[in-house]
């Protein structure tokens, strides 16, 4: 019996309705991921203003985002390893309950140190949710349907990122802390739904006894591999993206005086642009141009959007430039991931782990760097992000040129020996 059939039989009791139960649990999982995305993004337009209301500067805001990313970088592999040993359901429940608790603690914070403590706890607990949900989907779907199902997982998260900022911006008009309590309430409802309806997907005989303390991506192996250019590019792109996400709200507030409502509208535009590009365009562009040229187009689009942010003059210009940014990042990530997956000489899991490690490292460095530069001058953060993207473009262009020369050399007829 195939593995996915055995897993489904375990999850759904092996009765005649197991297919219907599988579909039900899959859709419940999609809805759960949608709510995670909504809860996470509800606070995005509000967090910068909430932090500054407690006396923080841009650097401290960046550090608040950095510590969250750092905790996720450290603890996500631990939770993944733990779910392989004890099953998906308890780890998933812990993750969504962690979301609920930390959002509520953030809403109750009256001192900056309380906000940092809640954010650190959130980074430790919440990163148990999404990777475990993806593992759950992998347990309960066949190899043939796994790719499309994972695509739906990403779409669920993306849809949540569209609705969340709009809700957060609306609620902030009543109270700047209200979006945090709403996000906590959604996470609590999500927890109840998972506890009542989600069954275990990993049977005891499939669990591992491995007890690794932590899984650190082998960066050195990545730097020695032929794919090193993609790892370097994703690190620089991720750093630039994190600079933008950590400073955007304070930048447009300082430049145009906009608040949480306008920031939420920009994030909604970013979510729509990302879903449209990744869902409808990027696959066709890659098939026509190849992964490297698609990534190059994305980097150009992203850098151009940052340059335009420096000259923003109205809300509609901000919304347009934010959509451009999301289109750029929506071309870069799938193309880099596809290139690594197709060309790796390492194991797929190891290669993806290295790629994710370099991506996460950029998210750790970017927010603090952006906040530090924004405190010096309003434009410095975006100037740095553009400069980093220019370096990423040069690295990618040199790689494309070298590959073209290698292909020409390989196709050239070899002269016969005398």
CA angle 33, 36, 40 (to 5 degrees): 145
Q: Give, for all 418 residues of the chain, the pLDDT tens digit.
A: 444 444 444 343 444 455 455 566 667 777 777 777 777 778 878 888 888 888 888 888 888 888 888 887 777 767 766 777 787 888 888 888 888 888 899 999 989 999 999 989 888 887 777 767 766 766 666 655 554 555 566 567 767 777 888 888 888 888 888 999 998 888 888 888 888 877 777 777 777 665 554 445 556 666 777 788 898 999 999 999 999 988 998 899 999 998 888 888 888 888 788 777 776 777 788 888 888 888 999 999 999 999 999 999 899 999 999 999 988 988 888 888 778 877 766 655 456 667 777 887 888 899 889 989 999 999 999 999 999 999 999 999 998 888 777 777 776 665 555 4
Q: What CATH number is attached to the domain comprising 291?
A: 1.20.1250.20
Same domain, 188 and 69: yes
Same domain, 188 and 227: no
Same domain, 303 and 175: no
H or E segment and range at residue 204: none
What span, in angstroms and rounded, lies between the C-alpha atoms of 122 and 298? Answer: 31
Same domain, 170 and 260: no
Residue 210 lies in a domain: no
Same domain, 281 and 387: yes
Of 99, 83, 210, 82, nearest to 135 (Cα)?
83
What span, in angstroms and rounded, lies between the C-alpha atoms of 300 and 357? Answer: 24
- DSSP-derived letter for residue 214 is -
CA 124 to chain centre: 16
Out of 155, 170, 202, a domain closes at 202
Close Cβ partners of 30 (under 8 Å, ≥ 6 residues apart):
152, 153, 156
Q: Output the DSSP codes for 22-51.
A: HHHHHHHHHHHHHHHHHHHHHTTTTHHHHH
Q: Which residue has the tokens 């980074």?
A: 123
At 29 the three-state DSSP class reads: helix
Same domain, 247 and 107: no
Q: How many CB atoms lie within 10 A of CB 208?
A: 11
What span, in angstroms and rounded, lies between the C-alpha atoms of 51 and 116? Answer: 10
Residue 247 lies in a domain: yes
The parent domain of residue 73 ranges over 1-202
Out of 174, 202, 230, a domain closes at 202
Q: Which residue has the tokens 């499309």?
A: 148
Q: Output the DSSP codes for 179-204.
A: HHHHHHHHHHHHHHHHHHHPPP-S-G
- DSSP-derived letter for residue 414 is P
CB 232 within 8 A of CB 368: no
pTM above 0.95, yes or no: no
Same domain, 167 and 270: no
Same domain, 154 and 221: no
Residue 265 vs residues 31, 49, 256: alpha-carbon distances, Å = 23, 15, 15
Residue 414 lies in a domain: no
Residue 207 lies in a domain: no
Phi and psi, residue 253, nearest 5°: -70, -45
Of 375, 376, 362, 365, nearest to 59 (Cα)?
375
What span, in angstroms and rounded, lies between the C-alpha atoms of 304 and 294? Answer: 15
Same domain, 165 and 233: no
User: Is the torsion defined by CA of 139, 142, 144, 147 positive or negative?
Assistant: negative
Out of 178, 202, 226, a domain closes at 202
Reported as half-sphere exposure (CB side, CA atoms, 13 A), residue 235 has a value of 17
Residue 212 lies in a domain: no
Residue 16 lies in a domain: yes
What span, in angstroms and rounded, lies between the C-alpha atoms of 276 and 289? Answer: 19
Residue 290 vs residues 108, 342, 371: alpha-carbon distances, Å = 49, 12, 35
What span, in angstroms and rounded, lies between the C-alpha atoms of 145 and 157? Answer: 19
pLDDT of residue 7: 41
Residue 412 lies in a domain: no
Same domain, 112 and 257: no
How many angstroms separate the first and last alpha carbons of the chain? 61
Residue 286 lies in a domain: yes
What span, in angstroms and rounded, lies between the C-alpha atoms of 42 and 44? Answer: 6
What span, in angstroms and rounded, lies between the C-alpha atoms of 11 and 140? Answer: 8
Domain count, the chain: 2
Same domain, 279 and 402: yes
Same domain, 189 and 230: no
């Amino acid at each position: 019996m195939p593995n996915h059939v055995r897993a489904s039989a375990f999850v759904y009791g092996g009765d005649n309705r197991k297919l219907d139960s599988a579909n039900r649990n899959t859709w419940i999982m999609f809805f759960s991921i949608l709510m995670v995305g909504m809860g996470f993004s509800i606070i995005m337009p509000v967090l910068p203003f909430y932090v500054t209301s407690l006396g923080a500067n841009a650097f401290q805001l960046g550090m608040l985002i950095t510590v969250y990313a750092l905790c996720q970088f450290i603890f996500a592999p631990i939770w993944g390893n733990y779910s392989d040993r004890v099953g998906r359901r308890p780890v998933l429940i812990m993750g969504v309950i962690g979301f609920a608790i930390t959002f509520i603690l953030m809403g109750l914070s009256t001192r900056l140190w309380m906000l940092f403590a809640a954010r650190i706890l959130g980074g430790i607990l919440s990163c148990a949710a999404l990777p475990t949900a993806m593992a759950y989907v992998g347990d309960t779907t066949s190899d043939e349907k796994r790719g499309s199902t994972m695509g739906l997982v990403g779409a669920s998260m993306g849809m949540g990122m569209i609705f969340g900022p709009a809700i957060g911006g609306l609620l902030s008009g009543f109270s700047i802390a209200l979006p945090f309590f709403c996000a906590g309430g959604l996470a609590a409802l999500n927890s109840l739904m998972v506890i009542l309806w989600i069954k275990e997907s990993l049977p005891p005989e499939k669990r591992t006894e491995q007890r690794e303390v932590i899984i650190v991506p082998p960066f050195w192996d990545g730097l020695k591999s032929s794919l090193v250019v993609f790892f370097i590019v994703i690190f620089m792109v991720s750093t630039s993206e994190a600079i933008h996400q950590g400073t955007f709200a304070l930048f447009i507030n300082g430049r145009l005086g906009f608040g949480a409502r306008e920031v939420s509208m920009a994030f909604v535009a970013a979510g729509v642009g990302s879903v449209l590009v990744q869902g409808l365009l990027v696959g066709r562009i890659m098939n026509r141009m190849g992964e490297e040229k698609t990534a190059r187009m994305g980097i150009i689009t992203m850098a151009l959007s940052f340059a335009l942010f420096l000259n923003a003059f109205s809300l509609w210009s901000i919304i347009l430039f934010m959509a451009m940014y999301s289109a750029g990042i929506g071309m870069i990530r799938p193309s880099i991931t596809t290139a690594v997956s197709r060309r790796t000489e390492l194991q797929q899991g190891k290669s993806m782990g290295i790629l994710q490690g370099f991506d996460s490292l950029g998210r750790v460095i970017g927010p603090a760097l952006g906040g530090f530069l924004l405190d010096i001058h309003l434009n410095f953060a975006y100037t740095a992000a553009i400069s980093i993207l220019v370096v990423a473009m040069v690295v990618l262009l040199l790689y494309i040129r070298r590959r073209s020369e290698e292909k020409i050399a390989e196709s050239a007829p070899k002269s016969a020996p005398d």
